């Protein structure tokens, strides 16, 4: 079964797809450290490597997360470890 996030429009639909994709993997007894998330850019990333937006609830790969959040992970860490 494939999840075609690329054709989805709204953040809610993207999120619903991501949740559904996780549920399929859980049903298939995929261990949590091997769970995959499909970023809206269609890249598959490990769930533990994905970044979730607190506002949209959507999971992103690092590249998209940095674009979405408007700062790089390094910038975020620099700000938040002071
Ligand atoms: Zn991405
Ligand atoms: Zn967001």
Q: How far is the CA of 30 from the centre of ligand 2 (A)?
A: 27
* Residues near ion ligand 1 (Cβ under 5 Å): 39, 41, 43, 61, 64
Domain edges within the chain: 5-80
**DSSP code per residue over 6-63:** GG--SHHHHHHHHHHHHHHHHHTT--GGG-EEE-TTS-EEEGGG-EE-TTT--EE-HH
pLDDT tens by residue, 5-28: 556 578 889 999 999 999 999 999
pLDDT below 70 — which residues of the chain? 1-8
How far is the centre of ligand 1, averaged over its atoms, from the C-alpha of 81 (Å)? 26
The encoded tokens of residue 38 equal: 């499909």
CA of 27 to the centre of ligand 2 (A): 28
For 58, counting Cβ atoms within 10 Å of its Cβ (0-12 exposed, 13-18 middle, 19+ buried), the class is buried
């Amino acid at each position: 079964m494939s999840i075609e996030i690329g054709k989805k429009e709204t953040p809610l639909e993207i999120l619903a797809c991501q949740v559904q994709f996780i549920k399929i993997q859980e049903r298939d007894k995929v261990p949590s450290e091997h769970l995959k998330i499909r970023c809206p850019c269609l890249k598959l990333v490990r769930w533990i490597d994905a970044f979730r937006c607190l506002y949209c609830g959507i999971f992103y790969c690092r590249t998209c997360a940095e674009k979405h959040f408007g700062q790089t992970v390094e910038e975020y860490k620099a700000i938040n470890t002071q």
